[in-house]
Each structure stands twice: as structure tokens, then as C-alpha cells.
Amino acid sequence: MKRATVYYRDCPAGVLTKDATGFVFQYDPAYVNDARMPSVSATLPKTDEAYRSKTLFPFFFGLLAEGTQKERQCRELRIDENDSFTRLVETSAYGAIGAVYVKA
């Protein structure tokens, strides 16, 4: 199983995991209970329940580079272009647009 922490402006918001069945995103209970903190995405509202998907959630997939930038990142970091989880963890914390990023 692969695991990474999802951050909202340097505050841990939850955990994203990947296993043989797919992906799971679970908000941190302290983050859910903090009324000042927003959901990381409109498609992933704050809740105590875990979100499950057979594929990477579209919100997180949207944080990934495409085209020649994707090819360059994969070549330089030696990442399989089809491994979206590793690409997300290795690249989203560096130069991400927006307040959300993912780190191992």
C-alpha cells in the first residue's frame, strides 16, 4: 500500500492511499472539526467517511502535469507515466498551483 498526506496550505488535511483495490481519501478528524478549514475540493466535501475510488480521484488527477511537462517529469524523476500516484506525490508539492498538495 502507498500512502501520502494531503495538505491544504501547509496544514495536514487528510491521507490518500493506494492499494490493490484502488484509492482511498480520508480527512483527518481534526481538520474535519475545524470550521475555519475548507474542503480540499468541491468534489470531496469534508466528512468523517472515507472516499473510495478505483481510479485516482479527478481532483487529484487535475494536479498532475500533462503533455511535454509530464514527459519531462517522468523522464527526469524516472517515474512510469501511468503511475499517477507516484507522479502526484513526487511533483505536486513543487510548483503546484493552488493551496492543495500531496507529500509522502
Burial 56-90 (b: 16+ CB within 10 A, else e): bbebbeebeeeeeeeeebbeeeebeeeebbbbbbb
Convert the pLDDT of each residue in 34-53 to its tens digit. Answer: 999 999 999 999 999 999 99
Q: Decide the pairing of beta strands 100-103 and 22-27.
A: unpaired
Convert the pLDDT of each residue in 11-26 to its tens digit. Answer: 999 999 999 999 999 9
For residues 55 and 23, the answer to whether their CB atoms sit within 8 Å is yes
Q: Specify whether the backbone of 90 is left (phi greater than 0), alpha (psi in -120 to 50) or beta.
A: alpha
For residue 9, the SS3 value is coil
Convert the pLDDT of each residue in 53-104 to its tens digit. Answer: 999 999 999 999 899 999 999 999 999 999 999 999 998 877 667 899 999 8
pLDDT value, residue 93: 78
Which residue do the cell numbers 509530464 mark? 70
pTM higher than the cut 0.85: yes
pLDDT value, residue 95: 66
pLDDT value, residue 97: 74
| CB proximity list for 37: less than 8 A, separation 6 or greater | 8, 11, 13, 31, 46
Q: How many domains does the chain have?
A: 1
**Structural domain containing residue 61:** 2-103
H/E segment holding residue 71: helix 67-77
